Chains A and B, each alone.
Chain A
Amino acid sequence: MTHTANDPLLEEITGPTPGQLLRKRVFGHQGLLIGVIVVAILTLIAILAPLLAPHDPYAQDLMARMKPPVFLGGTWEHPLGTDHLGRDYLSRLIYGARVSLLIGVVAATISGLIGTAMGVAAGYFGGRVDAVVTFLINVRLAMPVVLVALAVVAILGGSLTVVICVLGLLLWDRFAVVMRASTLQVRQREYVAAAQAIGASTPRILLTEIMPNIANNLIVVVTLEMAHAILLEAALSFLGLGVQPPTPSWGLMVSEGKNMMLFEPWLVLIPGAVLFVLVLAINLMGDGLRDVTAPENRS
Chain B
Amino acid sequence: MKHTILKSTIAAAALAASTGLAWADKDTDTLNVAFTKELENVDSYFNSSREGVVMQRAVWDGLIYRDPETNEYKGNLATSWEWVDDTTLELKLREGVTFHNGEVFNADDVVFTVNFVADEANGVKTQRNVNWMKSAEKVDDYTVRIHLKDKFPAAIEFLSGPVSMYPNEYYAKVGSSGMGLNPVGTGPYKVVSVVPGQHFVLEKNENYHDSPKGQPTIAKVDIRTIPDVNTQIAELFSGSLDLIWQVPADQAEKLDQMGQFTVANESTMRVGYLTMDAAGRSTMNPNPYTDVRVRQAINYAIDRNAIVSALLKGKSQVVNTPCFPSQFGCVQDVTTYEYNPEKAKALLAEAGYADGFTTEFYAYRNRDYAEAIASYLNAVGIKTDFKMLQYSALRELNMKGEVPLSFLTWGSYSINDASAMVSQFFKHGSLDDSRDDQVLADLNVADSSTDPDTRIAHYSKALKRIADEAYWAPLFSYNTNYVFKPSVSYTPTPDEVLRFTTMTWN
Contact = CB atoms under 8 A, between A and B. Distances in A.
Interface residues of B, number: 28
Contact of B371 (A85, A157, A159, A258): A85
A84 interface: yes
B311 interface: yes
B306 A63 contact: yes
A244 B387 contact: yes
A63 B250 CA distance: 13
A260 B250 contact: yes
A73 interface: yes
B387 A256 contact: no
Contacts of A245: 367, 371, 374, 386
B251 interface: yes
A72 B250 CA distance: 18
Main secondary structure on B side of the interface with A: helix
Contacts of A72: 2
A60 B250 contact: no
Contact of B368 (A73, A84, A244): A84
A73 B2 CA distance: 8
Interface in A48-88: 58, 60, 62-63, 65-66, 68, 72-73, 84-86
A19 interface: no
Interface string A77-108: 00000001110000000000000000000000
A246 B388 CA distance: 12
Contact of B387 (A65, A86, A157, A263): A157
Contacts of A73: 1-2
Nearest to A157: B387
B229 A60 contact: no
B310 A65 contact: yes
B303 A261 contact: no
B441 interface: no
Given A240-B388, A259-B248, A262-B251, A246 B378 contact: yes
A259 B2 contact: no
Contacts of B367: 240, 245, 256
Given A73-B1, A244-B387, A58 B378 contact: yes
B89 interface: no
A256 B366 CA distance: 11
B368 A256 contact: yes
Nearest to B10: A262
B449 interface: no
Report the interface size class on chain A. Answer: 20 to 34
A258 B231 CA distance: 11
A58 B386 contact: no
Nearest to A84: B368
A63 B372 CA distance: 12
B375 A85 contact: yes
A263 B306 CA distance: 23
Contacts of B233: 262
Interface string B371-415: 110110010000001111000000000000000000000000000
Contact of B375 (A58, A259, A260, A261): A58
B84 interface: no
B148 interface: no
Given A58-B375, A262-B230, A263-B254, A246 B368 contact: no
B376 to A, nearest CB: 8
Given A65-B310, A246-B378, A263 B6 contact: yes
A262 B250 CA distance: 11
B16 interface: no
Contacts of A66: 250
Interface string B9-44: 000000000000000000000000000000000000
A62 to B, nearest CB: 4
Nearest to A66: B250
Contact of A259 (B6, B230, B310): B230
Nearest to B390: A154
Interface in B279-314: 303, 306-307, 309-311
A119 B251 CA distance: 52
Interface in A143-159: 157, 159
A65 B310 CA distance: 8
Interface string B128-159: 00000000000000000000000000000000
B234 interface: yes
A62 B6 contact: no
Contacts of A63: 306, 310
Interface string B168-179: 000000000000
B254 A259 contact: no
Contacts of A65: 310-311
B258 to A, nearest CB: 9
Contacts of A258: 230
B251 A244 contact: no
Contacts of B306: 62-63
A206 B392 CA distance: 54
A120 to B, nearest CB: 40
A262 B234 contact: yes
Nearest to A72: B2
5 contacts: A58-B378, A63-B310, A85-B372, A244-B387, A256-B368
Interface of A: 58, 60, 62-63, 65-66, 68, 72-73, 84-86, 157, 159, 240, 244-246, 256, 258-263
Nearest first, the 5 A-B pairs at minimum CB distance are: A62-B310, A263-B254, A62-B306, A60-B375, A244-B386
Given A244-B386, A259-B250, A262-B251, 9 more contacts: A65-B310, A66-B250, A84-B250, A244-B387, A245-B374, A246-B374, A259-B251, A260-B251, A262-B230
